[in-house]
Amino acid sequence: MSDIARRSALALALAAGIAGSAHAAEPVERPWMDRSLSPDRRADLIVAAMTDDEKFRMIRADFGQVKEKGPNPPGALNGAGFIPAIPRLGLPFLNETDAGLGVTRDGSDHKGAISLPAGLATAASFDPAVAHAGGRMIGGEARGKGYDILLSGGVNLTRDPRNGRNFEYAGEDPVLAGTIVGAAVKGIQERHIVATVKHFAINDLETGRNTLSSDIDPVALRESDLLAFQLAIAKGDPGSVMSSYNRINGTYAGEHDWLLNKVLKQEWGFKGYVMSDWGGVHSGAKAALAGLDQESAGETFDKEVYFDKPLRAALASGEFPKARLDDMVKRIMRTLFAHGILDDAKRDPVAYEADRIVARNALEAGAVLLRNEGGLLPLARKGQSVAIIGGHADKGVLAGGGSSAVADVAGDPVPGLEPTGWPGPVRYHASAPLEFMRKLGGKVSFDPGTDPAAAAKAAAGADVAVVFVTKWAAESFDTPDLALPDNQDALVEAVAKANPKTVVVLETNGPVKMPWLDRVGAVMEAWYPGSGGGEAIARLLYGVTAPSGRLPLSWPKDEAQLPRPAIQGAGLNSKAKPADNVDYNIEGADVGYRWFEKTKREPLFAFGYGLGYTSFAYSDFAVDKDAKGNPVAHVTVKNTGKVAGADVPQIYVTASGAATRRLAGWAKVALKPGASRRVDIPLEPLALARYDDKAGRWHVAAGSYSVKLARSATDVAGEKTVTLGESFPVVKAP
């Protein structure tokens, strides 16, 4: 029996149908199941056949875990959301699950899953192919485990390295983040799973997220956070967008007519549906009229189920027009048809161990080597003894916490760490660096790092010390500072004093302060490494693969360099009241490297920075235009070192008179030693444009632009000037 037939039959057998639908006769035919029709037509046909009760059932999802202590409703898979079947129409039940790094719930095979490394690692690969492969992997797991909708596609910008959810996202630059997340979304949806770009929009801090107002000039918003969404949506064509918890200039995202109706749906042409975040709905008609299409788990998280009784009443009174109800349902149905959810797509069992390799490869492409004095790395595979210290490296690698945390299919090798409740449990993925380093290098020892003196002794007795340091971060809170917790700075100091050949591997949500930096030989940022993390780290340290990741965010020296040195109420157990609003006009659109450039601050490591095991030379840098008049940069990249590696030549543009540069393009170029390749790098038109609010369009002003070839946002290798005519680039959803 086909999957759809099975699910409908099961629903028919188990469910008595939904309230009210029992009175409507079963349609003789189901013309909307004709796959030769367009998704729009199919959606129109099914909406026309639906009763109002059926429509109201589609515009709200229940919490999928609501019956965790008792039996689930038929077909519910314990995910974040569940929509019961409508047997009369042959509609199967629908299951939603988190999230960006992998499937977080056990699904129909009752197993854990495989986690990609942090979204920051995928972004650091600067390689859409890596993001696409990761998307295909997690989409395939979602499909195989019985889900239909993956709440994956986080593209909130890193405005603050202390944001507890940065690891779910793709860094500070809108063009990079939009490109990477767009590629991931595409990969997910190729597996017949709806992807969800979130959290729309400017949900860039967790502290006070349910009420915090992100205050920002609308043009600055367009040129930063919204630009990331615009590109991710245009490139990935996600079926859904999740509105965020926060307010924007005083109005809740889920009630924001300008954001949802005007920008997302009208201007960008988004044809999918907007679902709320869990507990993010505050009204019925107001939200629905502002563009929200579906309430998520309102019965569990909202004050009331606004999209049920209150919205029915508004329909009866005429405040909420029937045409809008139909539009909401049509958007949902169109998405389900467009992405093959309602057609007969197979659900293959998940190949977990093959998927672990996809996760491993993602970290190999996205770990960033920050320091490597005297070629300390790669480690020698023969004749070098290594003292491995700390970070539970004998057991696994740390994961970030909250709704995106994936329970590894191989279990949690370090259970019981605090907090064990929300936003925990703190999880480790079962991929132990020690095991893989032993395989590759042989002479390794392990010290847990709990006593700096003992660790120093172990380090002194080995040729090289590799210290793993960790900092857990999670959804629902921001870290108050950038310090490493649990006395780990003292641990690194003691080890480095005992053995200057010390390598530090960071498993963090991004930047941390490194007071010991000058005294260690090498530092590698492994982010949250994911289910293949231990193996990837070992292969990178021993040079089986060379690091090629580049920072997708600026790494500040300390908090004082940030636009907001302190976050009121930050911290997991903070008793301080969070602020009512956050002033993002301080940096406006000049997020990250642009903030550093504008305020003439020097970060510890710049956006785009990262080392490898070889060297690259650039020659014949040129800029011309393609047939449409869009600028294209060209450069020949040569691997001038002795080992294979991959480089990321980056192109930044500065309009004449502008204060800051913008990343407009890049290439990831893998080369054998001695090999060279000429690469073409088309520049993203929206990185050249400003948003003209009066005219309501993007505008590339006629004039001259500086085009820089660079190794990072601050390390410029060449510069050209290009003259452009006036243009008005349009970027729309497909």
Nearer to ligand BGC, 81 or 378 (CB): 81
- CB neighbours of residue 317 within 10 Å: 9
The answer to whether 172 contacts ligand BGC (rule: CB under 6 A) is no
Residue identified by tokens 């991959």 is 646
Nearer to ligand BGC, 35 or 303 (CB): 303
CB of residue 432 to ligand BGC, shortest distance in Å:
29
713 near 602, Cβ under 8 Å?
A: no
Cα–Cα distance, 390 to 399 (Å, whole number): 16
- CB neighbours of residue 586 within 10 Å: 15
63 near 278, Cβ under 8 Å?
A: yes
CB of residue 262 to ligand BGC, shortest distance in Å:
24
Residue identified by tokens 């019981």 is 416
Element (H, E) at 51: none
Nearer to ligand BGC, 277 or 525 (CB): 277
Binding mask 211-230 for ligand BGC (x = CB under 6 A): --------------------
CB of residue 168 to ligand BGC, shortest distance in Å:
8
Cα–Cα distance, 236 to 200 (Å, whole number): 15
Nearer to ligand BGC, 99 or 724 (CB): 99
675 near 638, Cβ under 8 Å?
A: yes
Task: Take residue 81 and report the two structure tokens written for it.
Answer: 């959301």
Cα–Cα distance, 222 to 206 (Å, whole number): 21
CB of residue 476 to ligand BGC, shortest distance in Å:
8
11 near 85, Cβ under 8 Å?
A: yes
CA-closest candidate to residue 236, choices 338, 117, 141: 338
690 near 729, Cβ under 8 Å?
A: no
Nearer to ligand BGC, 80 or 520 (CB): 80
Nearer to ligand BGC, 80 or 687 (CB): 80
CB of residue 335 to ligand BGC, shortest distance in Å:
17
Nearer to ligand BGC, 166 or 403 (CB): 403
Cα–Cα distance, 451 to 449 (Å, whole number): 5
Task: Take residue 591 and report the two structure tokens written for it.
Answer: 């997020």
3-state secondary structure of 716: strand
CB of residue 552 to ligand BGC, shortest distance in Å:
20
Binding mask 186-215 for ligand BGC (x = CB under 6 A): ------------x-----------------
CB of residue 198 to ligand BGC, shortest distance in Å:
6
Nearer to ligand BGC, 278 or 555 (CB): 278
CB of residue 98 to ligand BGC, shortest distance in Å:
5
| Helices of type H across 574-635 | 593-598
Site for ligand BGC in 58-87 (CB under 6 A): 80
Nearer to ligand BGC, 157 or 491 (CB): 157
Residue identified by tokens 């009752």 is 110
CB of residue 108 to ligand BGC, shortest distance in Å:
19
Site for ligand BGC in 514-533 (CB under 6 A): none
Cα–Cα distance, 227 to 156 (Å, whole number): 10
Nearer to ligand BGC, 199 or 638 (CB): 199
Cα–Cα distance, 413 to 173 (Å, whole number): 35
Checking DSSP bridges between strand 240-243 and strand 273-275, what pairing results, if any?
parallel
CB of residue 277 to ligand BGC, shortest distance in Å:
5
Checking DSSP bridges between strand 662-666 and strand 650-655, what pairing results, if any?
antiparallel
CB of residue 203 to ligand BGC, shortest distance in Å:
8
Nearer to ligand BGC, 150 or 432 (CB): 150
From 95, 403, 431, 650, residue interacting with ligand BGC (rule: CB under 6 A)? 403
Query: Over the range 97-111, which residues count as b (16 or more CB within 10 Å of their CB) and which as e?
Result: bbbbbbbbbbbebeb
Nearer to ligand BGC, 198 or 471 (CB): 198
The answer to whether 169 contacts ligand BGC (rule: CB under 6 A) is no
Cα–Cα distance, 250 to 256 (Å, whole number): 10
The answer to whether 151 contacts ligand BGC (rule: CB under 6 A) is yes
Binding mask 354-393 for ligand BGC (x = CB under 6 A): ----------------------------------------
- The rounded Cα 170 to chain-centroid distance in angstroms is 5
Binding mask 95-134 for ligand BGC (x = CB under 6 A): ---xx-----------------------------------
CB of residue 296 to ligand BGC, shortest distance in Å:
7
CB of residue 135 to ligand BGC, shortest distance in Å:
16
CB of residue 610 to ligand BGC, shortest distance in Å:
28
Nearer to ligand BGC, 255 or 684 (CB): 255
CA dihedral 21, 24, 27, 28 (to 10 degrees): 130
645 pairs with which residues across the strands? 671
145 near 525, Cβ under 8 Å?
A: no
Site for ligand BGC in 251-280 (CB under 6 A): 277-278
Determine phi and psi for 37, rounding to 5 degrees.
Answer: -85, 160
Cα–Cα distance, 26 to 5 (Å, whole number): 16
Nearer to ligand BGC, 17 or 400 (CB): 400
Nearer to ligand BGC, 90 or 164 (CB): 164
CB of residue 576 to ligand BGC, shortest distance in Å:
22
CA-closest candidate to residue 566, choices 582, 588, 590, 553: 582
Residue identified by tokens 């197979």 is 346
Determine phi and psi for 4, rounding to 5 degrees.
Answer: -65, -45
Q: Contacts with ligand BGC: how many residues (CB under 6 A)?
A: 8
Give residues in contact with ligand BGC (CB under 6 A): 80, 98-99, 151, 198, 277-278, 403
